[in-house]
Each structure stands twice: as structure tokens, then as C-alpha cells.
Amino acid sequence: MQTVLILGRQPAIGLAELESLYGVDAVRPVGSEVAIVDAEVDFLRLGASVKAARLVHILDSTNWKEIQNYLQYSASDYLKDLPEGRLSLGISAYGFDISPQRIMATGLNLKKVIRLTGRSVRLVPNKEITLNSAQVIHNKLTESLGWELLIIRDGNKTIIARTVAEQDIEAYTLRDRGRPKRDARVGMLPPKLAQTIVNLAASTLTSRREKLKILDPFCGTGVILQEAGLVGYGVYGTDMDQRMVDYSQENLNWLVKNSAYKGFDSRFEVADATSYQWPHEFDVVASEAYLGRPFTSPPPPDMLEKNRRDCDTILRKFLINMRSQTKPGTRLCLAVPAWFVDGKVYRLPLVDSLEEIGYNRIDFRYASAKDLIYHRDGQIVGRELLVLVRS
């Protein structure tokens, strides 16, 4: 089974996540925004892909007129699989240098063809050449009477696919803003990024999903733990602040009451991750480490450098402590700070000396390790994802 996936705002992170979960041989990037996976994909588990689609056809052309002719010619055959009722039609294009108006023109032509079959159809207008998640969800394009066509350039060929799932914005918002306990001072980790961190950490052990236990040694308000729990993993959270441990427990209790998953194998303890001896077993480590001061404007050079040193010292002590308590091959995914100041990226000094303290950083085939930085325009503090294996 082949699944077509539209990657999120930072495609390198999406490719690394897919490679971790399904293996490098099952993943094929298409252009800069799309990947094809030779597997049945658990889309709800993915944090860094925004759309899943079923491959419909591969056309030996990238000429837009020929693509439009094919869609018009084939429309009646595809309609046979859809139930009776008014259709909602949308079109998104990837890898093509065309205007939204051209896509709308194609959509209107296709609408005419569909109406000639006796079907009622409504066209979703394109403001951009791709429809966003809100448009797809609002217009019910993944439901039985929805039909979003993805037109994807793949070298000298064109992939035609139909969207079957879209990133659930409301569910993410609930798991972010709906939780009873939040604290901006310790960072506001997005749940979809937490999903990705869990997937990057646990990938090699997915066959043991129901038995796997994930440790988050900087658990904060428990975002990573909630996403790990929703997959079915056991969760083990520690934090040096009793208040954060209490927040994590309360948030997971809330999640149990507000999700289909009705139980977590969970454990929480107050602990300083730089020196604590974890008394209970865990399989992998997934965590957002200390990010330092939450700058809202570019800091002076001396302040930035002090912040880097402070964060670096904490992470170094933690990794040395963790190495003494784990077996070779133990996998970790850590979100650590990277600062964007005056057009430059400032990373932790530790990133270039991981081997010296006993860790190897994984470099994915389709995503360079240095590109795994989650960052939004205007942010000072981004999150660099370190995917490590204890040597």
C-alpha cells in the first residue's frame, strides 16, 4: 500500500519522522513538500505531516493542459465510487509554477464535467495553489462526499492522489490550550512537535508499542507524556519542580477523561535530571530540555552567550548522568534550544562534541541532522531536535 503524505512547514522534520517510523527503504521524497511511503500509515500518529492521500494515478506528463484533460476524461470513472449526494471538490497542486486562478479554471472545467453526469457539485475556491487544513476540514473534503485532488509534480511525471485525512487542528488545540495546567515560563511545546519527538525516540521499538516505556526527564507540564500515552506507551516523567510534576499528573488525568484512550501506565517523580538515579526501568528518552530565557527580542551578545553556556552546562551534565544509567544503543530525542539572532543561528556548543561524552547523532538519509530545527518566523528561540544513540 502506498500512502502520499504532504509534509508540514519544515519538511526535513517530517522526512526524519517517516524514516524513523517506516524505515528508510519505505520512504521516497517527491519534490520539497511531499513523500510517498510504501506502507499503511497511522496518520493520526504523525506530528510533522499535514495531509494523507491515496494514490490514484501516475501521468506521464507535467503539462497542465494534459493533466486537466486527463481529469476531465477520468472524472466519471472516479465518481462511481462516491455515494449519492452533492459533492465538494477541491484541488491542490505541489511542485507546479502556476497561479491559483489557473487551478480555479481547471476546477471549473472539472465541475462542468461532473454536472453533466447529473451530480451536484460545489467547488472550493483557491486563494493559494494548495488548500490549507482549515479549508479541507471546513469543507469536509475528507468525508464521503468530499473530493480533494492532489496534483503533484514528480520529475517528468505527475501524481494524482485523493486526500483521505487532514491534520486535526481542533484536537491539537484541545490538547494544547484545553489542558487544565499550562505555564508559558517553561515553554509551550506544541503537541504535534511532541508527537514527532516521541516518534523519533521510539522508532526502533515500535513492534513493542504496548510495552514500551518512555522517560521524559524534563517533563514540565507533560505534553510529551500525553502524546506518548495516546500512542499506548507507558510514561515516566520527572522534573526538579514539584509543581511541574503535579501539573503533568493533572493534565494526564484530564486527558484520560477527554480522549478515547482511557488509561495510562504512568509514573512521576521529583528529580534533578543532572544527578538523579532513576530507580525504575525505561526504554527510550524523549524530552524538551531546558530552553533558557524566553527572549521576545534579540538579546545583547553577552546575555545570549551566558544563556547558551547555562543551557549547555545543564544538558551536558544530564547526558553524562544518563549515559551512566543506560545501555549501549539506547535512543534519545531531545529538543534543545537554538537561537536566531541577526540572521544567524546559534546552537549549543555541545552539539559538536556529542561523541566525546558517549553519544552518536543520527543523520537521516533524507534529512540532515542540522536541518532538524523547529522554528517560526520572528522567534528568537527555536528547538533543535537531537536524535541520539548511546554509544
Task: Tell me if residue 249 falls in helix, strand or coil.
Answer: helix
- 218, HSE (Cβ side, Cα atoms, 13 Å): 23
Query: The pTM is what?
Result: 0.95
**Sites in the chain below the pLDDT cut of 70:** 186-187, 204-210, 260-263
Which pLDDT score, from 0 to 100, does residue 292 have?
93
Mean pLDDT of the residues in the chain:
93
CA 43 to CA 5: how far, in whole Å? 9
Which pLDDT score, from 0 to 100, does residue 262 have?
65
CA 236 to CA 274: how far, in whole Å? 16
Task: Tell me if residue 159 falls in helix, strand or coil.
Answer: strand
CA 332 to CA 387: how far, in whole Å? 6
Task: Tell me if residue 53 falls in helix, strand or coil.
Answer: strand
CA 88 to CA 120: how far, in whole Å? 9
Task: Tell me if residue 154 falls in helix, strand or coil.
Answer: strand
Q: Per the structure block, which three cell numbers stand in for 86? A: 452533492
CA 26 to CA 43: how far, in whole Å? 15
Q: What share of the chain is helix, strand, coil (3-state, %, to 5)?
A: 40, 25, 35
Q: Hey, what domains does the chain have and what are their CATH numbers?
A: 3-167 (3.30.2130.30), 177-390 (3.40.50.150)
Please write the tens of the pLDDT for every residue from 17-51.
Answer: 999 999 999 999 999 999 999 998 999 999 999 99
- Other Cβ atoms closer than 10 A to 96: 17
Q: Which amino acid would we find at residue 213?
A: K
Which pLDDT score, from 0 to 100, does residue 208 have?
52
